[in-house]
Structure 1
Amino acid sequence: MKTTVAILSTTLAAFAVQADPVTVYGQLNVSAQSSDEGEGRFSELKSNSSRFGLKGDYELEGGLKLVYQLEWGVDLADVGDGDNITSRNQYIGLAGSFGEVRLGRHDTALKDAQGKIDLFSDYEADVKALWKGEVRASDSITYYSPSFNGFGVQLTYVMEDAADAEDAFSAAVYYGDENLKNSNFYAAVAMDADVAGYDAMRVQAQGKVAGFKLGAMFHSQENIVSGLEQDGWLLSAAYPMGKTELKAQYQTLEDDDAISLGVDYKAGKNTTLYGWYSSFNFDTTAPDRDYLAVGIKHKF
């Protein structure tokens, strides 16, 4: 572990000193959590997708630009040794009037298309708890089209990487600003074909209405091997009050569902204090479960 940290520290320092302008960034997110997964309640400390990385670009000839990103996940709570640092989005690519192409490890178009609709992303009630399709694909080529009247396209091609495997594809068409800063509305339609063993489709939208931030998603998935088809939907709502934001979310997959309530407090420009509660009810042999957490998130 010490060797891994030393190598990463040396790499970051080398980029900062020798490379063209590069952005070093990250997110530290840790919560104290009370969990009940069917065998009794216990307490734990959770690192919620804490991460660090660097990204930048470099002007080339002919109107082209080199783009790159190297991002790692880091567990601040309970994982040590070599499991403490994991790979996240890492790519190199080219950008120009045609759009942008990225080569490497990258979130699929379907995963990206959800924007900010999932208000409990990175926590127990992240949409991946019930739905398939939250894939960060290795051996992938990602394409972003230029924006045209607010519309854009993202495509993902995942190479098979083995003689007995199949290529996979993911695609999304979106409209508006997913951060709801340049527009008050965002919508996307996305699909996966043979991605991580599933075909999937999503239709989603989010907008600002009377001070509320409201979101909705419809999701459909099919297991390629078993042929099992399942549908679900999600509704989310957030309401800001000064430095505080109240939020709620409900998600289903057939007869399984999850409900979450939370509150965020903006303690500083890049620092948020939060608390949330999530409860899962399953129409299967798996036990119901619920979680209660308070934590702190800081971005740099």
Structure 2
Amino acid sequence: MKKILVASSALVAVAFAGQAQASEKISLSVSGYMEQWIGGASQDSKFESAGAFNSDTEVHFKGSTTLDNGIEVGAAIEFEAEGEASNNTDEQYLFINGGFGQVKLGQEDGAAADMTINAPNVGPAGVNDGDMVNYVSLNKTPDNAWDDGDDNKLTYYTPSLGGFRAGVSYTDDDGSEASDENVKNEGDNVVSAGVEYVGSFDAVSISIAAVGESKGEGEWYHVGGKVGFGGFTVGASYGVREAEFGKGKNVVTTEDDDMGVDFGVSYAMDAATVSATYMYAEMEDGTSTTGQDEFNGVDLGLAYTLGAGVTWKSSVFWFDYEGAATANDNDGFGAITGLVLSF
């Protein structure tokens, strides 16, 4: 497979040779966001209180040039702006756009992650976005889509035809976010794929997607959709991850599959959008205990645009976590608020 990828890259380079001389050199524009949150939660007394403050900030550099043959070639680099990690690069990849569709090569989310559709949720700590664990103690993070992250990969998206688009990604077994010497995929290649439909009929908009990944002897798959009418958006999604996913060849396991389902509705009115979202998830305990953890959660979200690039967001949530081991049982509620600055 590596020889095929190298040969393909060489053919692309030869095809573009001589075309870039008349085009403009790539200039990178700067964008990004800053999120600063404050809040608190009440949970089982056996767990320590989580921090009241949380943040997420990224700086993005992106630019492209158009060759004489009309093909666009560009680069995107995203940096995490907080933390003390030695390598704060989040994503970095090149992209090629043309009548044939789009090709991406580098460290970026795969087709399944890019095309996943979940239930509406506009708050900063929703039940289906993975951020609740910043404020309460959960043995496992509830989820229903398990992408392979920002490993080095090759991705191709078809052009949109009548609202339909497909994508596929291939991640080699030695991919990593920082160095090829750091093997993350444990000897397994990852194939990620998805198909979507996005369209509108009069005052109704529809988006539907089916995605999934294969790794080792197992797969995960996810289906989701949203319907918009007036100021309302209603959506739901369902995902299952087989117990064998990522376990390698010839592995016999008695573990159960993970699954998650969410439902939600949002309503936009002028500068404000509100949402209500529910999620149920079953997750392998991850210890010697036989059985699964179960999660039930509801959140109410608010997003209010204060001005250009400035949005106030808030979440109120309730949850109940029942562990296969009783030591992991937890329940409670919380409230989070803060600002998102986009630039």
CA shift digits 1:224-271 (9 cap, x unpaired) = 234521322111211122222111111111342221111121101211
Deviation at 1:208, TM superposition (A): 0.9
Q: For structure 1, which segment, 200-209 or 53-62, has the greater mean C-alpha deviation from structure 2 after superposition?
A: 53-62
Residue 67 of structure 2 is aligned to residue 60 of structure 1: yes
Q: Are positions 1:123 and 2:125 aligned together?
A: yes
Structure 1: where are the runs of 5+ without partners? 1-17
Change (3 A) 1:41 1:221: same
* Match in the other structure for 2:91: 89
Fraction of identical pairs, as percent: 20
The 2-side partners of 1:121 and 1:154 are apart by 29
Gaps (5+ residues) in structure 2?
Answer: 1-23, 131-140, 175-182, 248-252, 283-293
Residues 150 and 100 of structure 1: CA distance in aligned 2, closer, same or farther (over 3 Å): same
Q: Secondary structure at the match of 1:160?
A: coil
2:155 matched to 1:142?
yes
Q: Give the RMSD, CA atoms, in angstroms.
A: 2.8
What is the TM-score of this pair, normalised by structure 1? 0.81
Residue in 2 aligned with 1:280? 319
Cα distance 1:93–1:139, how it changes in 2: closer, same or farther (>3 A)?
A: same
**Which residue of 216, 223, 231 maps to 2:243?**
223
2:195 matches 1:193 = no
The letter for the 1-side match of 2:54 is K
After superposing the two structures, state which structure 1 stretch, 162-171 or 183-192, moved more. 162-171
Larger Rg: 2
- The structure that is strand-richer by fraction is 1
Q: Cα distance, 1:152 vs. partner?
A: 0.3
1:68-104, Cα deviation, whole Å (9 max, x unpaired):
10011223xxx4x336x73222101322211111111
Shift in Å, 1:167:
0.9
Match of 1:171 in 2: 193
Amino acid at match of 2:209: A
Partner residue of 1:294? Answer: 337
Moved more, 134-143 or 27-36: 134-143
Deviates more, 1:254-263 or 1:152-161: 254-263
- Mapped pair 1:259 → 2:261: no
The equivalent residue for 1:99 is 101
Conservation of the 8 A alpha-carbon contact between 1:35 and 1:43: no
Is structure 2 residue 173 aligned with structure 1 residue 152?
A: no
Amino acid at match of 2:81: V
* Aligned-partner SS, 1:257: strand
Q: Post-superposition shift, 1:222?
A: 1.4
Kindly tell me the number of residue pairs found equivalent between the two proteins: 274
Tell me how far apart the structure 1 counterparts of residues 219 and 150 of structure 2 sit (CA, whole Å): 15
TM-score, normalisation: structure 2: 0.72
Q: Structure 1 residues 37, 88: closer, same or farther in 2, change over 3 A?
A: farther
